[in-house]
Amino acid sequence: MSLDEIDGQIITALVENARSSYAEIGSQVGLSAPAVKRRVDRLRASGAITGFSARVDASMLGWTTEAYVELFCRGRTSPAEIGAAVSRHPEVAGACTVTGEADALVHIRAADMQHFERVVERISAEPIVLRTRSVVVLSRLVDRADVSFSRLPPDR
């Protein structure tokens, strides 16, 4: 499915405020509320929109330590194996395979440094993990969960 400019504007409006009504979005993009709903339904069915959620300040919930941990795995460890290993740990906020020396990069949120240390020890004990390298976030400078998608990439 290819997205047109109006789809991009609708996605941008939803990213900025997922609680906006179809009528509010329609007034921004020049469509009726039913037309916006049809497009949102199509975007959801195609997988372009994967869901709606609340953004939460993790520090307000007591998760004040944030870090990124590079995983170096044994042998030929598949991305599925890495995903299965790190998803067992509730402190893992995200994980991805990466280029470079490391096999994966894991985003961790913890209550404090002692909690973070225990999480790294648990992850390091996973059979697939050879070693880790960590960096702790001191301050978040840019946090763009609400990136504008109004400029769509050129057709390829």
40-91: pLDDT as tens digits: 999 999 999 999 888 888 888 899 999 999 999 999 999 999 999 999 999 9
Q: 136 with 116: CB under 8 angstroms?
A: yes
CA distance 81 to 6: 39
Q: Do 15 and 148 form a contact (C-beta atoms < 8 A)?
A: yes
Encoded tokens for 65: 């330590």
Give the residue carrying structure tokens 């009504």.
Answer: 21
Mean pLDDT over all residues of the chain? 91
What residues contact 30, with CB distance under 8 A and at least 6 apart?
A: 6
pLDDT for the residue numbered 96: 98
Q: Which residues of the chain are in CATH 3.30.70.920 domains?
A: 58-136
Side by side, which strands form the sheet with 65-73?
92-97, 104-110, 65-73, 129-136
Helix (H) or strand (E) holding 122: helix 113-124
Examine the pLDDT at 156 and tell me if it is beyond 50.
no
| pLDDT value for 77 | 95
Residue pLDDT, tens place only, 9-48 = 999 899 888 999 999 999 999 999 999 999 999 999 999 9
From-to residues of CATH 1.10.10.10 in the chain: 5-46
Q: Which CATH number does the domain 58-136 belong to among 3.30.70.920, 3.40.50.300, 3.20.20.140, 1.10.10.10?
A: 3.30.70.920
Q: What CATH code would you report for 5-46?
A: 1.10.10.10
Please tell me the distance from the alpha carbon of residue 111 to that of residue 71, in angstroms, as a whole number. Answer: 21
